[in-house]
Structure 1
Amino acid sequence: MANLTVRNVPDDVHRALRAQAKAHGRSAEAEVRQILGDALIPSNRLHLGDALAALGRQLDLSDEDVDALESAHDLTPQSSPG
């Protein structure tokens, strides 16, 4: 995990951060991690594996169907044009 140092945080922002952290039962550092995570990584983001599994269920694909798709897949490297 990376470390992050934030300098020159205004006193009123620091006080508000500590108050919010206390209200959530966390340290100020844990509160900052939560705030950053909430702001930068949306909870409704698409997880590709979950989406593919849901699609397979929706299409009612069997293991045999997946095997057939894999065996038909051309693994030959694509040549560059020209």
Structure 2
Amino acid sequence: MASLTIRNLDDALKTKLRLQAAEHGWSMEQEAREILRRAVSAPSTELGFADKIRQRFAGLEGELEIPARQTVRQISLED
């Protein structure tokens, strides 16, 4: 198994981790493993860009009217 060292951990965060581990009846190291395991195995609830667009326009029906193309204005460089 691999090892992981976490440096510069805030004292308040370390205290919370220690208390949470004590509530579960295991070490801080085990608590950290459990937190990491849950974090990486939880399904992502964040929508991707296409999903956000689909959600935004859900319920709209029909087709968009595409305007006719117009010719590009010609600019004379001789003036």
TM-score of the superposition, structure 1-length normalised? 0.50
Please tell me whether Structure 1 or Structure 2 has the larger radius of gyration of its CA atoms. 2
The structure with the greater share of residues assigned to helix is 1
Residues 1:2 and 2:5 are matched in the alignment = no
Give structure 2 stretches of 5+ with no counterpart. Answer: 44-79
| Moved beyond 2 Å, runs of 4+ | none
Pair 1:19 & 2:19 matched: yes
Q: Does 1:42 align with 2:56?
A: no
Q: Distance in 1 between matches of 2:38 and 2:32?
A: 10
Corresponding residue pairs, total: 43
Percent identity reads 47
Unmatched 5+ stretches in structure 1: 44-82
Deviation at 1:28, TM superposition (A): 0.1
Q: Which residue of 2 aligns with 1:28?
A: 28
- What TM-score comes out, normalization by structure 2 length? 0.52
Give distance in 1, aligned partners of 2:35 and 2:26.
12
Cα RMSD between the aligned structures? 1.2
